[in-house]
Every structure is written in C-alpha cells, then in structure tokens.
Amino acid sequence: MSRPINTIGIMSYVYLEHSAEEMAADIASRNISIVQADPRQKGLLDANGKYHSKRAKEVRKIFADQRISIPVLSGYMNLLDPILERREHNLTTMEEMIKLCPEFGAPYIATETGSFHPENQWRYHPENDTEKAWDALLAIIERLRKTAVDNGVTLLLEGYVTNVLNTPEKAERLINELGSEGLGFVMDPFNLMKLEDLDQQEAALDKIFSAIIPFSPIAHAKDAIYTEKGLSTPCAGTGKAKWDQYALRLSKQAPAIPLFLEHLKPEEIENCIKYIQKSYDFVSI
C-alpha cells in the first residue's frame, strides 16, 4: 500500500495570461486549494498595473471565494545584482512584498539569492563562490529577515546551481551562521542537481534533504535535465529526475509540507499530477 502524497499546490506562474478570477476558477476546478502567488504577475495586479495592500486583500478574497489559500508569495529576484542601484531596488521591492504577506494571508515568501553576473541572474559568475559574495549574502539576508520577522513572515531561500546559494553545504552554513528565526528554504532539489548528480541521484538527494528539509515548510514539483545551455528544470516527468526517490524522501521526512507544481501549462496539470501520484506508488507504508 502506497503512502498518501504531499498536498498538491500550484504556482501562479502557470497562469501568466489569466486574470485572478480565471486563475482561481481553473485551479479550483482541479481540486487544488493552495497557490504560491507572485503579486507582480499581470493577472494579480490592479487595473493600473500596481500591487498594494488593497489589491492584496482583493486577490485573497477572489481565491478564498474558490476555497483557495495563498500560503506563499513568490518574490524571486536577484538579491545580489552587481549593479548596486539595481540591487537596492530589488531589496526595496522585496521588503514591500514581505510587508504585503499578511494581507495575502501568506506566512512565507520565497526568493532565489541571485548571481553576480551583470546580465543574467541565472548565469554563473566566478565571484559567486567568493567570501565577498558570502558576506554580501549574509548582510542582505539579515536585512530582509528583520523585515520578515517584524511582519510575522518567514523568508524562504531557493538555491540554484549557478547562484550564490548553490550547494546544500552553503545552506547548512547559512543556518549555522544566521540561525533559523524567520529564515528557511524551499525544498527544490532539482535546482541543486549538478550534471554529475544526475548519475548518483540518491546520494545527492540524501545530502540535499539532510541540509535543507528541517528548514523547509514547502517543496516544489518539477524535474531536471542538462542541455547545451546548462541546467533546465521542466515539468515533472519530462527530465532525468528519479521522482520515486524524491517522493520517498518527502513522504518519510516531510509528509505534511505542500508540493507546488511549476514549469508547466494549465493543459499539462492533469498528466503532471498523475505522474507525481504514480511516483508515490513506490513508497510503501
């Protein structure tokens, strides 16, 4: 007999061309009741293209009317942009969104850490692995965490192989140096899979879970594959990830945390959920 799967949620990015009302209605029709939402997304902005407290309450009600809650906001941006004016703009924007979390009913906000690459936050830059970058990251996280704690919110970091936070070891170091008050991680092992890890996934997953799962209140559902452009993280079931191994670890180590679908289109949701459910068939009670 297989274990029950983690509760399935979905990222608002799946519905880029939809209004809040359309998004909520379609999500509800699929019996999904939790969303990780980005306040900056076109369909969630007001008529003037703005996000603010009043609009946050409106969006929350639109989803609540469909019995959907928004436990997590998406605040993804380059926290370590090497152009300091752009970096400060990003940090100020993040602080604004943290303050909006209570209006959405969201106790969490998630972001990546970013890269020192001047043109693309998803590209690697040698400075990412320096102590200078680490010190900058610590100072930025301390700043954002203070705002988070002041507003009853937990800041969740999502690692990525080309970012400053790019290994489970760095995640451990971050918690060791800063503590976990108002700070945690998104369990997204696909982002941390180096090319060689795809050939030894069980060991890689063990290392990632050991470092991150004690501080992860949410998880993401996608996949991992390497192309000539580097790591790609497509819809679950379309890459090289051993989903049965991911399901095994989630069910045993974090059965209560939600699993948010991402990197797919609305018409792919049904098949994606079926694939994930099948992955749990290998997990015995």
Q: What is the pLDDT of residues 243-257, one digit of tens each?
A: 999 999 999 999 999
Q: What is the pLDDT of residues 52-105, one digit of tens each?
A: 999 999 999 999 999 999 999 999 999 999 999 999 999 999 999 999 999 999
In a domain, 182, yes or no: yes
In a domain, 1, yes or no: no
In a domain, 142, yes or no: yes
Please report the pLDDT score of residue 4 as a whole number.
Answer: 77
In a domain, 266, yes or no: yes
Residues 6+ apart with CB under 8 A from 150: none
We report the CATH number of the domain holding residue 89 as 3.20.20.150
Q: What is the pLDDT of residues 116-136, one digit of tens each?
A: 999 999 899 999 999 999 999
In a domain, 188, yes or no: yes
Please report the pLDDT score of residue 1 as a whole number.
Answer: 53
In a domain, 2, yes or no: no
Arithmetic mean of pLDDT, 35-46: 97
Please report the pLDDT score of residue 284 as a whole number.
Answer: 66
Tokens, residue 209: 């879970």
Confidence tier at 283 by pLDDT (50, 70, 90) = confident
The pLDDT of residue 185 is above 60: yes
Q: Whole domain around residue 219: which residue ranges?
A: 8-282
Domain count, the chain: 1
Question: What is the pTM for the complete model shown?
Answer: 0.97
The pLDDT of residue 273 is above 80: yes
In a domain, 181, yes or no: yes
| Averaged pLDDT score across all residues of the chain | 96
In a domain, 42, yes or no: yes
Confidence tier at 160 by pLDDT (50, 70, 90) = very high
